[in-house]
C-alpha cells in the first residue's frame, strides 16, 4: 500500500486491506462503538471551558468516551535545570502556569480511567525526566497500562546543559481489555513524529497534526475526545479537524499577547 505522509513522503506500508487481512491486527476496521452520552448543562461541547479538570471529569458519565489526552503541568525539567532567571527575565508565561504535583496527576489519571470506555485510550504527554525516572505508580489501581510511546520532534532547539532538547514524549495507555485489533485503525503513524507547531499561543502547545492522527486511529466520527487540562486547546482543534466532538477545560484563559 502506498501512502503519502504528512511530510509529503511516499511510503510503502502494509499490504492492501482485503477481506483476509481485515482479520489481522493491521485492519483499518474499528469495531468499537461508543454509547450515546447525556451531558450535564455545564459541559458545553467544542468550547473552551474554564474550570478545574478534576471537577470536569467528575461531571462526565462513567465509561462514556473513547479517547482522552492529558498534558500535565510538569515542573520536572525546570526544577532539575534550575536556570535561575525563570519568571524574571525569561519564561514568564511558563512559570505563571498552575503546576501539578504527582499526586494530582494521579488523580487526573484515575478520573480519566473512570470515564474511558473499555479498550479506550489515554495519550499522556511526558517530559524526559519523568520518562526516565518512572511514572508507573501514577496509574496504580486503574485499568490502564502502557501500550506504546511516540517521540515528538518539535523541530525547535530547546534548553539543556548537555544535549539540547528538541523532543517530547507521548505515552499511549489503553484501558482493559488491551488490544489493537478492531480498536486502532490507522497503522502508518510513525513513532518519531516531526511537526513544528504553527502558533505559540501556549508555552506547552502540542502538535495538532499528530494528535489528530491519534484521535482518528482510536475513535469514530462524532465521538467525544476529552482534555481536562487543555492549555491552548490544541486537542480541540485536532478533534474538530477529524470530525470528532471535544470536551475539555483549563483553569486559566491564556492571553497570547504575553510574550514568552
Ligand atoms: C502543559 S499545559 C497543556 C498544554 C496543551 N496540551 C496545549 O497543547 O496547549 C497544562 C495546562 O494544565 C493547566 N492546569 C493546571 N492545573 C489544572 C487543573 N487543576 N485543572 C485544569 N487545568 C489545569 C495549566 O493551566 C496548563 O495550561
| Residue with CA nearest ligand 1 atom 4 | 231
- How much distance in Å is there from the Cα of 230 to the middle of ligand 1? 5
The better pLDDT of the pair 26, 215 is held by 215
Specify the length of the chain in residues: 260
Helix (H/G/I), strand (E/B), else coil: 92: helix
What does the pLDDT look like over 123-144, one tens digit per residue?
999 999 899 999 999 999 999 9
What one-character DSSP code corresponds to residue 23?
A: G
pLDDT of amino acid 115: 98
pLDDT of amino acid 259: 41
Q: Which long-range contacts (CB under 8 A, 24 or more apart) does 45-48 make?
A: 45/224, 45/245, 45/246, 45/247, 46/236, 46/240, 46/245, 46/246, 48/230, 48/233, 48/236, 48/248, 48/249, 48/250, 48/253
Of 25-34, 118-127, 132-141, 210-219, the one with minimum mean pLDDT is 25-34
3-state secondary structure 97-152: CCCCCHHHHHHHHHHHHHHEEEEEEEEEEECHHHHHHCCHHHHCCCCEEEEEEEEE
pLDDT of amino acid 26: 79
Q: Is the CB of 97 under 6 A from ligand 1?
A: yes
Q: Is the CB of 197 under 6 A from ligand 1?
A: no
Contacts of 154 (CB under 8 A, 6+ apart): 166, 167, 168, 195, 196, 197, 207
Q: Which long-range contacts (CB under 8 A, 24 or more apart) does 1-8 make?
A: 3/188, 5/188, 5/190, 6/195, 6/209, 6/213, 7/194
- How much distance in Å is there from the Cα of 13 to the middle of ligand 1? 36
pTM of this structure:
0.86
- How much distance in Å is there from the Cα of 175 to the middle of ligand 1? 23
Q: Is the CB of 27 under 6 A from ligand 1?
A: no
Residue 18 scores a pLDDT above 60: no
- How much distance in Å is there from the Cα of 10 to the middle of ligand 1? 36
- How much distance in Å is there from the Cα of 245 to the middle of ligand 1? 19
- How much distance in Å is there from the Cα of 6 to the middle of ligand 1? 27
| Confidence class for position 178, pLDDT limits 50, 70, 90 | very high
What does the pLDDT look like over 236-252, one tens digit per residue?
999 999 999 999 999 98
| Confidence class for position 36, pLDDT limits 50, 70, 90 | confident
Nearest to 98 by CA among 236, 250, 226: 250
pLDDT of amino acid 257: 44
| Confidence class for position 145, pLDDT limits 50, 70, 90 | very high
Residue 79 scores a pLDDT above 90: no
- How much distance in Å is there from the Cα of 190 to the middle of ligand 1? 26
Q: Mean pLDDT over residues 84-102, rounded?
A: 60
| Residue with CA nearest ligand 1 atom 8 | 205
| Confidence class for position 89, pLDDT limits 50, 70, 90 | very low
Q: Which of 5-14, 71-80, 86-95 has the highest mean pLDDT?
A: 71-80
Q: How far is CA 42 from CA 63, 66, 107, 181, in A?
A: 19, 21, 21, 36
Please give the helix or strand (H or E) that residue 182 lies within, else none.
Answer: none
Q: Is the CB of 211 under 6 A from ligand 1?
A: no
| Confidence class for position 63, pLDDT limits 50, 70, 90 | very high
| Residue with CA nearest ligand 1 atom 7 | 205
Of 66-75, 91-100, 142-151, 207-216, the one with minimum mean pLDDT is 91-100
pLDDT of amino acid 33: 85
Q: Is the CB of 252 under 6 A from ligand 1?
A: yes
| Residue with CA nearest ligand 1 atom 1 | 73
The better pLDDT of the pair 17, 66 is held by 66
Residue 35 scores a pLDDT above 60: yes
Contacts of 190 (CB under 8 A, 6+ apart): 5, 150
Say whether domain 2-250 belongs to CATH 3.30.559.10: no
Q: Is the CB of 52 under 6 A from ligand 1?
A: yes
pLDDT of amino acid 80: 52
Q: How far is CA 141 from CA 193, 207, 250, in A?
A: 31, 30, 26
Residue 91 scores a pLDDT above 70: no
Amino acid at each position: 500500500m502506498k501512502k503519502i505522509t504528512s511530510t509529503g513522503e511516499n511510503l510503502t506500508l502494509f499490504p492492501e486491506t482485503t477481506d483476509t487481512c481485515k482479520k489481522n491486527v493491521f485492519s483499518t476496521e474499528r469495531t468499537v462503538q461508543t454509547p450515546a452520552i447525556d451531558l450535564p448543562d455545564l459541559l458545553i461541547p467544542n468550547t473552551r471551558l474554564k474550570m478545574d479538570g478534576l471537577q470536569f471529569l467528575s461531571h462526565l458519565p462513567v465509561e462514556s468516551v473513547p479517547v482522552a489526552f492529558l498534558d500535565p503541568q510538569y515542573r520536572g525539567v525546570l526544577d532539575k535545570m534550575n536556570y535561575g532567571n525563570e519568571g524574571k527575565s525569561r519564561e514568564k508565561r511558563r512559570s505563571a502556569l498552575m503546576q501539578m504535583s504527582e499526586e494530582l496527576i494521579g488523580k487526573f489519571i484515575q478520573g480519566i480511567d473512570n470515564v474511558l470506555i473499555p479498550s479506550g485510550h489515554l495519550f499522556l504527554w511526558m517530559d524526559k525526566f519523568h520518562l526516565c525516572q518512572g511514572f508507573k505508580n501514577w496509574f496504580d489501581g486503574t485499568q490502564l497500562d502502557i501500550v506504546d510511546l511516540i517521540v515528538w520532534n518539535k523541530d525547535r532547539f530547546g534548553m539543556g546543559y548537555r544535549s539540547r532538547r528538541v523532543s517530547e514524549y507521548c505515552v499511549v495507555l489503553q484501558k482493559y481489555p488491551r488490544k489493537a485489533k478492531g480498536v486502532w485503525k490507522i497503522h502508518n503513524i510513525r513513532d518519531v513524529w516531526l511537526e513544528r507547531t504553527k502558533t505559540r499561543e501556549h508555552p506547552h502547545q502540542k502538535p495538532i497534526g499528530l494528535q489528530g492522527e491519534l484521535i482518528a486511529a482510536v475513535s469514530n466520527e462524532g465521538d467525544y475526545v476529552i482534555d481536562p487540562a487543555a492549555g491552548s486547546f490544541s486537542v480541540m482543534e485536532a478533534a474538530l479537524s477529524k470530525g470528532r466532538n471535544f470536551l475539555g477545560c483549563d483553569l486559566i484563559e491564556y492571553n497570547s499577547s504575553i510574550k514568552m
